[in-house]
Amino acid sequence: MTETPAKSVSPETASAAITDFGIDTTSMSTGEAVKDYFSRLRAGQLGSLPALFGLLVLVILFSLLSNQFFTLNNIANLFEQGAGQTIIAMGIVFVLLLGEIDLSAGTASGVCAAVMALHYVKNANLLGSLGSGVFIAFLVVLVAGAGLAILQRIWAGAVISLLGVVLILTGFGGPWIGMLLAICVGTAIGCWTGFLVSKIGMPSFVVTLALFLVWQGVILQFIGQGGTLAIFNSPVLNEVANGNLSTAGSWVLFILGAGGFAAAQLGQHFSRLKRGLVTQPTPLVVTKVGVVAVVAAVATYLLTTNRSQNNLVVIAGVPFVVPIVLVLLVIGTYTLNRTRYGRHIYAVGGNQEAARRAGINVPKIRSSVFVICSSAAAIGAIVYSSKVGSVDPQAGGLNTLLFAVGAAVIGGTSLFGGKGRVFDAVVGGLVLAVVSNGLGLLHQNAAVVNIITGLVLLLAASVDALSRRRAAAAPR
């Protein structure tokens, strides 16, 4: 039998076939890329642009209304004031990406703060401070949380929860152990929340609303009515939100931050060019890297300038909360953008049924985001407790949760799921910090601050809804 010789395929035919299948292998010029960007904006793909524009407007407005707003001391204070809520918001982003909500993140962070403060004040003697009954119940909750994590195959959650049990039983003291214990408790809380939502099938709104009340009662049980646990006399705990890097350390942070961002952006860009994949024009990538480097350099220079009003004291350096937020931002961004787990989160948030049919373990993904959220809430609790210098029965209550959710939504994360970044929480957190700080400098009362903050959140939610409607109506 004579074999038919294979026909050669011309480049033109191959190009036509690729076009028929809708595979984009072309690169755009700088002008075309800019035009495409504005086309996507008109189609409703706004991202965090409205929040960035609003942040710029607010900074200009408060700078004109108050001569104290743009001082070096106030700029540093802005980062410290909003860091705790911003970190909680970074965890909430993972939950919102699935179209879920965690109303208990605030009081869960309060439980973590109470445990950390008790561990420090009582010299790691939680049994003596809680009493045998409450102490045993507390251990059972941690162990059960680890068991639920194992049942759902969330191994990191199980290990961290069990680590908390070990720390409690061994009685190791010190502020670092207290902070680690707080994170372990937050992880165990997330294991419980995730199990109730993903395995039992209860709506996240109902589960987390109930747990909001439960954790509020736990805080009261731990601290007592009208009680306060002071932690400001611990140098380590106090420095978390109130300390600064040295001048040399601040510039090292700049080199690592700006250099790492440049290496990641340029490395990915030239790697895609080498493989013949579509990427942004090189001038745009270089410009973006240059702008970030210049802004970071100016901010570092300003923050390393002495901002003390007392000639006998020198206050200079980047606040410790800045590298904490940056590290969490890098970890969260890498997780969502560069890992299979992150892609699964976006897939489940975009279409849960399609994700299930594609072989994704949807219940595990749904449960795991609550573990991340509560763990981030514990870190946020450490930061805001350090800023205040104490923990009381209202820890994590009041507006903590509302501001954290608001930060994520204002930054551009959609309440409908499938759209958002960890960076959104940082931008939204800055917006809320500027609003609170600026109105405070103008001597506005709490009522005005709440009204303005609520209106900003309402505007952000409206922009999200309108942009989704516009994107749905845009031609494919």
pLDDT of res. 119: 93
pTM: 0.89
The answer on pLDDT for 475 being more than 80 is no
What are the two backbone dihedrals, phi and then psi, of residue 35, each rounded to the nearest 5 degrees? -65, -40
pLDDT of res. 419: 86
The answer on pLDDT for 169 being more than 50 is yes
Q: What tens digit of pLDDT does each residue of 177-210 get? A: 999 999 999 999 999 999 999 999 999 999 999 9
What DSSP line would sit under 322-367, residue for residue?
HHHHHHHHHHHHHHHHHSHHHHHHHHHHH-HHHHHHTT--HHHHHH
More confident residue, 244 or 18: 244
- 293 CB burial (10 A radius; 0-12, 13-18, 19+): middle
175-206 core/surface letters (b: 16 or more CB in 10 A; e: else): bebbbbbbbbbbbbbbbbbbbbbbeeeeebee
More confident residue, 18 or 416: 416
8-state DSSP, 142: H
Averaged pLDDT for residues 356-383 = 95
Averaged confidence pLDDT in the chain: 86
Name the band, by pLDDT with cuts 50, 70 and 90, for residue 44: low
- 434 CB burial (10 A radius; 0-12, 13-18, 19+): buried
More confident residue, 396 or 166: 166
pLDDT of res. 211: 94
User: Among 87-96, 98-107, 211-220, 440-449, which is the least confidently predicted range?
Assistant: 440-449
pLDDT of res. 27: 62
More confident residue, 450 or 263: 263
Q: Are 315 and 306 in contact (CB under 8 A)?
A: yes
pLDDT of res. 2: 47
The answer on pLDDT for 297 being more than 90 is yes
User: Among 162-176, 384-398, 407-421, 462-476, which is the least confidently predicted range?
Assistant: 462-476
For residues 94 and 429, what is the distance between their CA atoms, to the nearest angstrom?
16
Q: Are 413 and 93 in contact (CB under 8 A)?
A: yes
- 385 CB burial (10 A radius; 0-12, 13-18, 19+): buried
For residues 240 and 105, what is the distance between their CA atoms, to the nearest angstrom?
21
Angle at 242 between CA 168 and CA 454, to 5 degrees: 95
For residues 335 and 345, what is the distance between their CA atoms, to the nearest angstrom?
10
Q: Are 381 and 159 in contact (CB under 8 A)?
A: no
| Type of residue at 330 | V
pLDDT of res. 72: 85
For residues 107 and 469, what is the distance between their CA atoms, to the nearest angstrom?
34
Averaged pLDDT for residues 243-249 = 93
Averaged pLDDT for residues 346-371 = 94
pLDDT of res. 14: 41
Return the residue matching tokens 């699964």: 344
